[in-house]
Amino acid sequence: MIKKTLTLIVAVVIAIWFLSPVVLIVISSLTPSAEYYDPSRILPRSLTLDHLRSLFVTLGGWRATLNSIQVAGMSIGISFLFGLPAAYALTRFVFRGKNSIRLGILLTRSFPVLIIGIPLLILYMRIGISDTLLGVALAHTSMVLPFVVLISSSIIGGISVEYEEAGMIFGLSRFASFMRITMPLVLPGLAASAIFAFIMSWNEVFVAAILTVGSRTLPAHILNAAMTAPDYFKFAAGTIMAVPAMIFIFFTRKYLMSLWGISLK
Amino acid sequence: MAEVTIRGVKKHFGEVKALDGIDLKIEDGKFVVLLGPSGCGKTTLLRCMSGLEKVTEGKVLFGEKDVTGYAPKDRNVSMVFQSYAVWPHMKVYSNIAYPMKIKKFDKQEIEKRALDTAKLLGISELLDRYPVQLSGGQRQRVAVARAIVLEPAVLMMDEPLSNLDALLRVLMRSELKKLQERLGTTTVYVTHDQVEAMTMGDLIAVMKDGIIQQYGRPEDIYHRPANKFIAGFIGSPQMNFINVEVKRKEGKMCLIAPGIEVECTRENEQKIDRGKHKRLIMGIRPENIHHVAGREATPIEGKVYFTERLGAETIVHLKVGDMRIISKIAGDEIFEEDKEMNMYVDTSRIRLFDPESERSILD
């Protein structure tokens, strides 16, 4: 009983610790501007969607949100297109230099995308994809791809190769066996890593800000537009940034657990 | 159903020669066991037969057909995996039916066959469950059902019993063998367990270092092992190996070691080349050393070092000179430790090996 109470208290403290900033941000973003600057009030008497609305509609936030979703979608797509076969090969086949390749993939993460931002911009200008969503998506892919390869390879590695071989024995080709036997088994894990990739791209601000002028992603746009605006706009921007990520994590939290090796069984 | 022929098959993984020239013929309908210690290449050979592994060199034939370049799915084989590999995202019924679904059987046929096979394996009640809801033994039955439902040309099993507990293993041993007899499917069975090999196989291929050491009926492998490795690998407790000198005494050929002097039988005498075989390794199984004198028995003198009383049999460790000779005696017998006693070697059961090549010189 005491143990249970203690656990509860600890849980509540942790929850408050993590949630209170989020709650404050959300509340501030909903506070009417007159009340926001009233030092005698902590909690507002009424709430308003004005800041969010003007951020979305007047300040072009809606466009930027769509841009962000497109960029994240593209970089997830490209990352999985190349990352999944790479992960499969790293897990299932024995070949020379496998460990070096694994290490090499990890090493690419040690260069912050920030460093490659300027060279990328120059390169993009040359090949004519500067200030495009594809350009940002490719930059984000370079950030997301190693992550996708390594996580996917550990997820595939968690599925016994004998399942797949059984598929091959009982009438499927290697590819069909992967698609019909292994895929359903790894899908939850892959979905979780896709969500992770999504959030990585969603949150990335520097490269997006360097590479684009017209078609900005949401964080880049906010950095540009909201940072010179009054505080409640900043909070509104924070809310817009945080909420989608939180919704995603809420729905995929049990798969995220499996991502870190806690079994789903 | 098919006859399987392996011709000069080699499989190299980089520098490692997992299979170093295998020739094997498995007659139609036979139950053949590939037996050997871990790393001997038995599983690799099975995987080469199934097509999961590509051979480096050589040919695999099913009947007259050369299937060497075929993908597993085109070989009409099936397999029971060591981990069973029952697909966890499908119910038992789907697991059994899936191979037929892939091959596009019609619905009624699939259902009929799946139900019949489930009945045969005694898993009709489990069809609606997921594999995680099954015990190891049940999962294995599902794996076997899935493997036989398509009536494959060759049924392959890769240590299928090694994950079961001891009691269930004994039960499944006889059940799998009975099932195979009933179906008449050519079966290749990989194991490192000599008891499984002896009890289940029509024929046993003993493997070591990527080479088949001997291929024959279980009784031949047991009683006439081709070399010292096989003699030592099969049988428990292990065969006694004694380094002996070959000498002539009073017109008879004798095998002599400190504390031991055994006369050769006439048949063995003819096999010994006096010029070549000055020294030999004598092998004698523990059950061929008795504590009472009998026909064709030569006494050896020793001291009881240790006894293992197992109830149905007694294992006596006898110290003879520096050597320890192990004898297996039927029944529960009591021997006083450190007591001097005579044991009797059944000379007709002696095996002789060349000390250099370790090959048997008797056949």
pLDDT at B280 over 80: yes
What whole-number distance in Å separates Cα of residue A136 and Cα of residue A75? 9
pTM: 0.82
Residues of A in contact with B150 (CB under 8 A): 170
CB of B87 less than 8 A from some CB of A: yes
CB-based contact A79:A145 (threshold 8 Å): yes
CA distance B230 to B258: 26
Q: How far apart are the first and last CA of chain A?
A: 28
In chain B, what are the domain boundaries? Answer: 4-233, 240-353
B16 touches A at CB < 8 Å: no
pLDDT digits (tens, 9 = 90+) for A22-76: 888 888 888 887 777 777 777 777 888 888 888 888 778 888 888 999 999 999 9
Q: Is the C-alpha dihedral spanning B102, B108, B111, B115 positive or negative?
A: negative
Taking contacts as CB-CB distances below 8 angstroms, the residues of chain A near B51 are 168
* CA distance, residue A147 to nearest chain B CA (Å): 27
Sign of torsion, CA A17 A21 A22 A28?
A: positive
Residue B242 φ then ψ, to 5°: -130, 125
Nearest residue of A to residue B83 by CA position? A162
Beta bridge partners of B7: B59
pLDDT at A262: 43
Contact state of B85 with A166 under an 8 Å Cβ cutoff: yes
Q: What is the distance in angstroms between the Cα of B346 and the nearest Cα belonging to chain A?
A: 48
pLDDT at B160: 93
ipTM: 0.85
Domains B4-233 and B240-353 belong to one CATH topology: no
Q: Which fold has domain B240-353?
A: OB fold (Dihydrolipoamide Acetyltransferase, E2P) (2.40.50)
Quick check: B303 and B339 in contact, CB under 8 A?
Answer: yes
Taking one residue from A and the other from B, the number of pairs with CB-CB distance under 8 angstroms is 53
Of residues B343 and A1, more confidence is placed in B343
Q: What is the pLDDT of residues B285-313, one digit of tens each?
A: 999 999 988 777 888 999 999 999 999 99
Indicate the domain borders of chain A.
1-48, 59-259
Is residue B55 over pLDDT 80?
A: yes
In this prediction, what percent of chain B has a pLDDT beyond 70? Answer: 100
Give residue B62's pLDDT band: very low, low, confident or very high (50, 70, 90). Answer: very high
pLDDT at A50: 83
* pLDDT of residue A252 exceeding 50: yes
CATH architecture for segment(s) A59-259: Orthogonal Bundle (1.10)
Q: Which helix (H) or strand (E) is A114 found in, with range?
A: helix A113-127
**pLDDT higher than 90, residue B101:** yes
Q: Please give the average per-residue pLDDT across B177-200, as a whole number.
A: 95
Residue B265: the pLDDT is 87
pLDDT digits (tens, 9 = 90+) for A120-167: 889 999 998 888 899 999 999 988 999 899 889 988 988 999 999 999
CA distance B41 to B43: 6
Summarize pLDDT for B247-257 with one digit per residue, the tens. 988 888 899 99
Q: Which CATH superfamily is domain B4-233 in?
A: P-loop containing nucleotide triphosphate hydrolases (3.40.50.300)
Residue B87 Ramachandran class (φ > 0 left, ψ -120 to 50 alpha, else beta): beta
Point out the least confidently predicted range of A28-42, B41-55, B89-103, B232-246: A28-42
Percent of chain A residues topping a pLDDT of 70: 95
CA distance A238 to A236: 5
